[in-house]
Amino acid sequence: ISQERAHGDGIYVDFDSPEALEEVFWRVHCRSKYIRDEHLCTHKVDPETVLALKRYQNNVCYKYGKPRYLAKNNNHILRIRSLAEALPDTCFLVLFRDPVSQAKSLLKQHNKFIDADTFTRRYMTWLAHHEFGATHRPFQFFEHGKLNADASDLQYWIDRWTGAYAYLLDVLEENLPNLIPVSYEKLCNEPDYWGWLCYRLNIQYKPSPFRRLEEASHNEQNFSIDRSCAIYQKLMKISTRVTCT
């Protein structure tokens, strides 16, 4: 019987639903390179790990009789540059969303999981899933500088968005052909954008499952968003340029 998952986001799962387990591979092979007690940091993927990853992916495809491997992995941001260079035949979708809307969503999930039970904490740690909640360890993209530690504040999550996408913007501007920026707002509001993405990824087109968004309202602006908005606009321009090529 399907039940709504713990995130409370309208996605229903059962025992046969796919789970995002790939990060366990990275935790086993590269733990000391990126997992710290208080944060996760960027790391470079070496050729030996790339070969092990290919074997792992091939085994998954063989087990399920599928020709293509698909994974959803937020932690790939920590290794995206070297991973994209090492796997030129792999497409990496770099999703982004309006920074305040995403920050509000992260804060909501953080509050939902902050009092997680022991099993959930252990499971999230096993998955190296530290984006929010009781086991939260933020991404850190520079060795210096102290992170704002008040995760109960919306500004904290806006700052995390800004740090992550400032880093991703630098990587995207290197124009690696297998890195594809994908706008959530465009997916919801521009039907042709979904069709283009299906074409770009060589997957069968089906009607878009995304619902049109209401215009975001951030009238209660008691936070700083100037830098995040500037980054967001640059990401939107890049995503538009990519769809035109």
For the segment 2-40, what is each residue's pLDDT rounded down to a tens digit?
787 777 777 787 877 777 789 999 999 999 999 999 999
Give Cα separations from 41 to 2, 122, 167 (angstroms). Answer: 36, 21, 12
Tokens describing residue 153? 């504040």
Whether 144 shows a pLDDT value over 50: the answer reads no
In this prediction the pTM is 0.89
Q: What angle do CA 7, 10, 98 make, to 5 degrees?
A: 75
- Measured between alpha carbons, how far is 227 from 160 in angstroms, rounded to an integer? 12
Whether 228 shows a pLDDT value over 70: the answer reads yes
Pairing verdict, β 179-183 and 92-96 = parallel
% of the chain surpassing 70 pLDDT: 92
Whether 244 shows a pLDDT value over 60: the answer reads no
Give Cα separations from 38 to 41, 88, 135, 235 (angstroms). Answer: 10, 32, 10, 29
Whether 191 shows a pLDDT value over 70: the answer reads yes
